[in-house]
Amino acid sequence: DFTGNALTLTGSGNTLGGDFTVANSGVFTTGNAAALTIDGSFSQTGAGGTTLGADLVADKGIDLAGDLTLKGDTDEPIRLATDGLAGSDIRLGGDVDNTAGESLVLDAGAGGDITVMGDVGDLGTGDLEITNAADVRFDGLVTADKLLQLAGTGTTTLAGTLTLASDLDFTGNAL
């Protein structure tokens, strides 16, 4: 666990055997090669934000309180994923943006829910992809090149305005 201003991980092969909580007032950052795999849950609880340059996989859930910025290689998909069991949810409490056309891929499996409370800002050429989830909810604006949902067992709700430069492809139970 980390409590403080800012934390930056730049090394590759980051694996944690339990839960990981970051209580940051600055920015929690992972570099382009710094994929993070966590056997437990990941929680960002401070007033600061999160900048991801690589994938974040946390088996028991991902909860980001602040804004999320994708900062990988140009047009890179950056994946947030859980083990897919009930309760292994992905919750993004702030706004989502990118820096170079990165795409956001969310995968909570058939049993986990995905909730994005802020706006998904203009991702430019970046896509928003839901690989799998039970219920999916976007409370704010969604602006991206494409929105793709490959599988879903519950309901997908887009509560704000949806602006896409290209396709909306939905496979799931209810939209």
Whether 138 contacts 113, CB under 8 Å: no
Which contacts of 39-45 are long-range, i.e. CB under 8 A and separated by 24 or more positions? 39/15, 40/16, 43/19, 45/21
Task: Give the C-alpha separation, 66 to 12, whole Å.
Answer: 24
Q: State the pLDDT at residue 73.
A: 94
Q: State the pLDDT at residue 2.
A: 96
Q: State the pLDDT at residue 30.
A: 97
Q: State the pLDDT at residue 50.
A: 98
Residue with tokens 């090669």: 33
Q: How many CA atoms lie within 13 A of 95 on its CB side?
A: 8
Q: State the pLDDT at residue 122.
A: 86
Average pLDDT per run of 10 along the chain, which is 175 residues long? Answer: 96 95 97 96 96 98 98 96 97 97 97 98 94 97 97 96 96 92
Q: State the pLDDT at residue 95.
A: 97
